[in-house]
């Protein structure tokens, strides 16, 4: 029987190619993910190890919230790490050197004036350049020029200099926490810091300048200690800790620091690895249908052969083993090829994900023994499990009965059991999803329930697919018969001939399209909700604010209002207040300018009624706090000083429909500004004169000093910024689910090819009674299209249902969420299914048309 299994594998190479490809692609995804995870973790560790190279002890200033209010620049964070302490540590026995550093952030402007990192969330790091005896800093190797040594100089990393368009000798504009500053670029360095290589920026100053910008003279954020050879690291750490004050600083050994970073890296990369493995599992799950379908058809075509084996003494167990050995050999070969392809996937994933802002560091490919072993085990196991049911079916073939039949129809009782099971699974899934539709939060337990409901629904429809195929394919068959005549009718009958086979082929495509449709509908609806939230109640053409917690100057609105083309500039700030036993957020603004920059729907009163001590409240807050127009409320507001909160009497003069542009209440700037966090306007809403909005951004920047920290965003930019994360996630998931769709296409090709072989005599008879080669090709193509569209209709329908039921989980974080069907994309998916059907049939249709008529009739 082992020799028989080997002979069958070699005898049906062409028939098994598509199945092997499905296993290969699924395993490639698994192996690629595992190798990618090991490679990424290793790259992060190497980058971290590079930053910790030679560090035996790290002394870091703990977070201190107190600032020096007497500081001339408005207060800077103080630390207990100073020059004197660094000197004491440097004199300890066993210390080779100390490296005191200052950390901060500096936002750079490119030569064209736009912030270098405007469209990125990566940090704009700044630190001090510490030259050694040779005048160079080993942490930042020079590529051009020299290190900064005076107050008017700085250095940049190579990538930042390239993005900003700077060369050595240029004047660089930057900002720390306010107006733009300038310094001369004297050097360009290289760095292995993953935050910088991923997309951040690095600016280097001399130590004195860095302290003036970010701390106080003589103060540092960290002191890295290098030990002499033979020094015990733990003991040195204890000695350093003994020199530190009781509060404000902590010494950590290099080994502990490396362990902490390693744990953090493992945590950060594990979620990405798990996500990729989930999609790899989906690809393998889709592959199961192809494998099971292939072996079912092979066994049907070899029923005479199996019957003869049974007649000459082969037991049922031997037949099962023969089929499973055949599957294991196929899985082994395909898994080996899949692992090799997976190395290419692992190599391509890092640059691919970095285009979406993942920020993964460079590093060599890392292959641990677990990756190939896991890949081979998964590939072989999935293939064997998928072939198990067909092998049992093979074992049940009667030695004599099978000699008279090539393909026996499924037993009616078996189909009834399947239909009952499918109905129960689908019903349970639908009930769970209906329950999910009543949930309003996306906490983990609710997400798990939604996943369970989705799996039950999808699994139930897969089981019910043979039953559903008859009415849907019959309906499609009417269209094909009407427009394509005999070929269309034959295509419908061929698709209905074996409902299980048709269902299994269509289910592979259905799974991929169900998941893609669910993601598309949910993502599109979320994007629409965020578009509404981003611009709700906003008539302004631009929103202006700083890229830091710092507020805008009080005269900023007046400066912008004088810019040619500006119709109004409304300053906006906010503060908290407690009234009627409820907490609320009140927006402060200039009511006249705000009326031009925002759109408010007043239920009672108007913006003109708002004035000193007079406020309007949102309808939601008025209902919750039981406030009506004319009421005078006692508001408890935080002063942000040692005196704590203060009482303020406010009169309600209007009620409006709440929007994102306003909070629970709306008052004048003078009433709210003293109680805001920054005591400055948080942002400005700028309304342009008709036809003057284009090009206004540069004028607004110039009016406010053109600081790189300024963010001047149009409504389109606000929408894009809000939708950026969703768009990036959807694009990534489309790519990952694309693997499942590719495997589904292989399934259609494989089923049609083997079906053509199975119907060789039938095709010969059709040719003999007058159906020409073009008719044969058309028949096979139409059968492929009908099966593909059947899978697409089921998949799109399930995807829409799951998106509808799961959409309720977002209502707590997205109040404007409402399911919106993207008809253009759904139409694209149907067109894609049609194209899949046509393309998948090219080879089988051509093969069927080229069959020799007489030889086909003589075949058995």
Lowest mean pLDDT among 121-125, 238-242, 292-296, 638-642: 638-642
Within a domain: 491: yes
Pairing of strands 57-61, 249-253: antiparallel
Q: Where are the beta strands (DSSP E) in 217-299?
A: 222-227, 249-253
108 and 138 housed in the same domain: yes
Within a domain: 383: yes
Cβ-contact 257, 125 below 8 angstroms: no
Nearest to residue 759, comparing CAs of 385, 330, 300, 445?
Answer: 300
Residues 6+ apart with CB under 8 A from 555: none
pLDDT of residue 403 exceeding 60, the answer is no
pLDDT of residue 641 exceeding 50, the answer is yes
Which of 182-191, 599-608, 653-662 has the highest mean predicted lDDT (pLDDT)?
182-191
pLDDT of residue 581 exceeding 60, the answer is yes
374 and 441 housed in the same domain: no
Q: What is the DSSP string of 502-562?
A: HHHHHHHHHHHHHHHHHHHHHHHHHHHHHHHHHHTTB--SEEEEESSS----TTHHHHHHT
Token pair, residue 817, equals 């969420």
Which is more confident, 811 or 411? 811
Q: Half-sphere exposure of residue 50, counting CA atoms within 13 Å on the CB side?
A: 18
The residue from 203, 238, 263 where one domain ends is 263
Residues 6+ apart with CB under 8 A from 837: 748, 781, 784, 785, 786, 787, 788, 789
Within a domain: 626: yes
Residues 6+ apart with CB under 8 A from 598: 537, 538, 539, 540, 570, 659, 661, 662, 685
CA distance 388 to 200: 53
Mean pLDDT of 483-493: 87
* pLDDT for the residue 379: 84
CA distance 440 to 807: 9
CA distance 183 to 174: 8
CA distance 611 to 514: 55
- CA–chain centroid gap for 374, Å, is 26
pLDDT of residue 151 exceeding 50, the answer is yes
201 and 239 housed in the same domain: yes
Cα Rg of the chain, angstroms: 35
Domain that holds residue 466: 411-514+736-804+820-860
28 and 63 housed in the same domain: no
Instruction: Give me the count of residues in the chain.
Output: 860
* pLDDT for the residue 773: 86
The angle at the Cα of 423, spanning 421 to 429, to the nearest 5 degrees, equals 105
* pLDDT for the residue 794: 92
Residues 6+ apart with CB under 8 A from 116: 107, 108, 109, 110, 124, 160, 163, 164, 201, 708
Within a domain: 548: no
pTM: 0.70
In the three-class reduction of DSSP (H, G, I as helix; E, B as strand; rest coil), residue 226 is classed as strand
**H, E, C per residue of 14-63:** HHHHHHHHHHHHHHHHHHHHHHHHHHHHHHHHHHHHHHCCCCCEEEEECC
Within a domain: 477: yes
377 and 416 housed in the same domain: no
Q: What is the DSSP string of 413-456?
A: HHHHHHHHHHHHHHHHHHHHHHHHTT-----HHHHHHHHHHHHH
Mean pLDDT of 265-289: 73
Residues 6+ apart with CB under 8 A from 807: 437, 522, 525, 817, 818, 819
pLDDT of residue 64 exceeding 60, the answer is no
* pLDDT for the residue 654: 94
Instruction: Give the sign of the dihedral formed by CA 193, CA 194, CA 197, CA 203.
Output: negative
* pLDDT for the residue 165: 92
* pLDDT for the residue 476: 87
486 and 626 housed in the same domain: no
Residue 611 bridge partners (DSSP): 614
Which is more confident, 528 or 143? 143
Instruction: Give rounded-to-5 percent helix, strand, coil for the chain.
Output: 55, 15, 25
Nearest to residue 505, comparing CAs of 764, 795, 805?
Answer: 795
248 and 135 housed in the same domain: yes
Cβ-contact 464, 790 below 8 angstroms: no
pLDDT of residue 15 exceeding 70, the answer is no
Q: Give the chain's mean pLDDT.
A: 82
pLDDT category at 71 given cuts 50, 70, 90 is very low
Within a domain: 539: no
Count of beta carbons in the 10 Å neighbourhood of residue 805: 25
CA distance 431 to 424: 11
Cβ-contact 635, 650 below 8 angstroms: yes
Cβ-contact 571, 591 below 8 angstroms: no
The residue from 389, 408, 427 where one domain ends is 408
Give one word for 691, left, alpha or beta, with left for phi > 0 and alpha for psi -120 to 50.
Answer: left
pLDDT category at 145 given cuts 50, 70, 90 is very high
Token pair, residue 708, equals 């790189």
Which of 568-577, 579-588, 733-742 has the highest mean predicted lDDT (pLDDT)?
568-577
pLDDT above 70 as % of the chain: 86
Query: pLDDT by residue (tens digit) across 253-264?
Result: 888 887 777 777
Max Cα-Cα span within the chain: 103
- CA–chain centroid gap for 16, Å, is 35
391 and 297 housed in the same domain: yes
The residue from 209, 234, 263 where one domain ends is 263
pLDDT category at 101 given cuts 50, 70, 90 is very high
Token pair, residue 670, equals 């003078």
Token pair, residue 689, equals 């004169």
- Going from the C-alpha of 590 to that of each of 648, 659, 849, the distances in angstroms are 19, 17, 79
Query: pLDDT by residue (tens digit) across 156-181?
Result: 999 999 989 999 999 999 998 878 88
Cβ-contact 571, 726 below 8 angstroms: no
Residue 251 bridge partners (DSSP): 59
221 and 139 housed in the same domain: yes
The angle at the Cα of 262, spanning 261 to 265, to the nearest 5 degrees, equals 85
**H, E, C per residue of 594-651:** HHHHECCCEEECCHHHCECCEEEEEHHHHHHHCCCCCCEEEEEEECCCCCCEEEEEEE
Which of 236-245, 273-282, 404-413 has the highest mean predicted lDDT (pLDDT)?
236-245
pLDDT category at 278 given cuts 50, 70, 90 is confident
pLDDT category at 304 given cuts 50, 70, 90 is low
pLDDT of residue 293 exceeding 80, the answer is no
pLDDT of residue 184 exceeding 90, the answer is yes
pLDDT category at 793 given cuts 50, 70, 90 is very high
432 and 399 housed in the same domain: no
CA distance 346 to 845: 36
* pLDDT for the residue 406: 45
Count of beta carbons in the 10 Å neighbourhood of residue 639: 12
Lowest mean pLDDT among 45-49, 365-369, 465-469, 503-507: 45-49
* pLDDT for the residue 74: 43
86 and 228 housed in the same domain: yes
pLDDT of residue 736 exceeding 70, the answer is no
In the three-class reduction of DSSP (H, G, I as helix; E, B as strand; rest coil), residue 392 is classed as helix
Residue with tokens 């049922």: 316
Within a domain: 558: yes
Through-space distance between the first and last CA atoms of the chain, rounded to whole angstroms:
24
pLDDT of residue 41 exceeding 90, the answer is no
pLDDT of residue 711 exceeding 50, the answer is yes
Mean pLDDT of 802-826: 83
Query: pLDDT by residue (tens digit) across 649-705?
Result: 999 999 998 877 788 899 999 999 988 888 889 999 999 999 888 888 889 988 988
* pLDDT for the residue 306: 72
CA distance 450 to 572: 41
391 and 417 housed in the same domain: no
Lowest mean pLDDT among 394-403, 595-604, 610-619, 764-773: 394-403
Number of helices and strands (H, E) in the chain? Answer: 25, 22
Count of beta carbons in the 10 Å neighbourhood of residue 574: 21
Residues 6+ apart with CB under 8 A from 7: none
Give one word for 106, left, alpha or beta, with left for phi > 0 and alpha for psi -120 to 50.
Answer: beta
* pLDDT for the residue 405: 45
Task: Please provide residue 176's backbone torsions phi and psi, each rounded to the nearest 5 degrees.
Answer: -100, -60
Pairing of strands 645-656, 614-618: parallel
Domain total for the chain? 4
In the three-class reduction of DSSP (H, G, I as helix; E, B as strand; rest coil), residue 351 is classed as helix
* pLDDT for the residue 313: 73
Within a domain: 750: yes
CA distance 70 to 49: 40
Which of 80-84, 115-119, 311-315, 760-764 has the highest mean predicted lDDT (pLDDT)?
80-84
In the three-class reduction of DSSP (H, G, I as helix; E, B as strand; rest coil), residue 325 is classed as helix
The secondary element (H helix, E strand) that includes residue 700 is: helix 696-703
- CA–chain centroid gap for 85, Å, is 46
């Amino acid at each position: 029987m082992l020799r028989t299994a080997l002979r069958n594998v070699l005898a049906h190479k062409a028939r098994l190619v598509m199945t092997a490809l499905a296993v290969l692609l699924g395993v490639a995804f698994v192996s690629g993910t595992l190798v990618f995870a090991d490679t990424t973790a290793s790259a992060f560790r190497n980058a971290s190890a590079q930053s910790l190279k030679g560090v035996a002890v790290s002394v870091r200033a703990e977070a201190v919230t107190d600032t020096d209010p007497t500081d001339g620049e408005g207060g800077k964070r103080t630390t207990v790490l100073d020059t004197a302490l660094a000197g004491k540590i440097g004199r300890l026995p066993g210390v080779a050197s100390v490296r005191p550093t200052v950390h901060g952030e500096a936002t750079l402007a490119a030569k064209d004036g736009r912030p270098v990192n405007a469209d990125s969330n990566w940090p704009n790091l700044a630190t001090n350049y510490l030259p050694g005896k040779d005048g160079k800093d080993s942490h930042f190797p020079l590529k051009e020029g020299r290190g900064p040594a005076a107050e008017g100089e700085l250095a940049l990393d190579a990538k930042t200099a390239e993005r900003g368009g700077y060369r050595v000798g240029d004047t660089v504009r930057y900002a720390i926490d306010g107006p733009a500053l300038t310094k001369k670029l004297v050097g360009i360095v290289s760095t292995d810091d993953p935050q910088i290589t991923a997309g951040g920026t690095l600016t280097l100053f001399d130590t004195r300048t860095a302290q003036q910008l970010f701390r106080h003279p003589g103060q540092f954020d960290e002191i890295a200690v290098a030990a002499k050879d033979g020094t015990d690291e733990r003991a040195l750490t204890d000695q350093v800790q003994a020199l530190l004050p009781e509060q404000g600083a902590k010494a950590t050994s290099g080994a502990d620091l490396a362990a902490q970073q390693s744990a953090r890296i493992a945590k950060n990369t594990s979620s990405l690895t798990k996500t990729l493995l989930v999609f790899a599992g989906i690809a393998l799950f889709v592959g199961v249908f192809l494998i099971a379908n292939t072996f079912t058809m092979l066994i049907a075509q070899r029923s005479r052969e199996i019957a003869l084996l049974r007649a000459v003494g082969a037991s049922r167990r031997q037949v099962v083993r023969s089929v499973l050995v055949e599957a294991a050999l196929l899985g082994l070969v395909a898994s080996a090829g899949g692992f090799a392809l997976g190395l290419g996937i692992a190599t391509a994933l890092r640059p691919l994900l970095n285009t979406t802002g993942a920020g993964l560091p460079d590093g060599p490919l890392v292959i641990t023994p677990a990756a190939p072993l896991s890949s081979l085990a998964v590939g072989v196991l999935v293939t064997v499990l998928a072939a198990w049911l067909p092998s049992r079916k093979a074992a049940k073939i009667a030695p004599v009965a099978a000699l008279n039949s090539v393909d026996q129809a499924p037993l009616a009782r078996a189909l009834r059991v399947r239909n009952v099971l499918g109905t129960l699974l689908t019903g349970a899934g639908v009930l769970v999803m209906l329950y999910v539709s009543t949930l309003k939060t996306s906490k983990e337990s609710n997400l798990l329930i939604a996943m369970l409901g989705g799996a039950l629904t999808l699994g139930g429809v897969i089981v019910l697919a043979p039953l559903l195929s008859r009415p849907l394919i019959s309906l499609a068959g009417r269209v094909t018969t009407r427009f394509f005549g005999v070929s269309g009718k034959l295509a419908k009958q061929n698709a209905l001939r074996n409902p299980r086979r048709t269902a299994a082929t269509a289910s592979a495509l259905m799974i991929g399209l169900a998941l893609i449709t669910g993601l598309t509908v949910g993502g599109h609806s979320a994007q629409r909700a965020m578009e509404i939230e981003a611009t709700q109640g906003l008539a302004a053409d631009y929103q202006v604010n700083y890229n830091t917690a710092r507020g805008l100057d009080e005269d900023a609105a007046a400066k912008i209002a004088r810019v040619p083309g500006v119709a109004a500039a409304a300053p906006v700030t906010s503060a908290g207040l407690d009234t009627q036993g409820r907490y609320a957020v009140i927006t402060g603004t200039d009511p006249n300018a705000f009326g031009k920059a925002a759109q408010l729907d007043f239920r009672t009163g108007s913006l003109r009624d708002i004035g000193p001590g007079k406020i309007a409240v949102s309808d939601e807050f008025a209902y919750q706090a039981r406030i009506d127009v004319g009421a005078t409320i006692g508001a408890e507001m935080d002063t942000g000083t040692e005196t704590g909160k203060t009482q303020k009497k406010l009169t309600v003069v209007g009620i409006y429909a709440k929007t994102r542009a306003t909070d629970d209440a709306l008052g004048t700037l003078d009433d709210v500004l003293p109680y805001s966090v920054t005591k400055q306007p948080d942002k400005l809403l700028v309304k342009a004169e008709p036809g003057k909005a284009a090009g206004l951004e540069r004028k607004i920047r110039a009016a406010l000093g053109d600081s790189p920290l300024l963010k001047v965003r149009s409504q389109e930019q606000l929408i894009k910024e809000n939708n950026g994360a969703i768009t990036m996630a959807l694009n990534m998931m489309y790519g990952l689910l694309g693997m499942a769709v590719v495997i589904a296409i292989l399934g259609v090709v494989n089923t049609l090819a083997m079906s053509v072989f199975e119907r060789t005599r039938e095709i010969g008879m059709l040719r003999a009674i007058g159906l020409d080669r073009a008719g044969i090709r058309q028949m096979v193509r139409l059968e492929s299209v009908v099966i593909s569209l059947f899978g697409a209709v089921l998949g799109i329908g399930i995807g829409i249902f799951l998106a509808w039921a799961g959409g309720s989980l977002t209502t707590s974080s997205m109040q404007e969420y409402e399911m919106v069907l993207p008809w253009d994309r759904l139409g694209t998916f149907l067109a894609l299914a049609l194209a899949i059907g046509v393309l998948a049939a090219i080879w089988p249709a051509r093969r069927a048309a080229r069959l020799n008529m007489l030889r086909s009739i003589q075949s058995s």
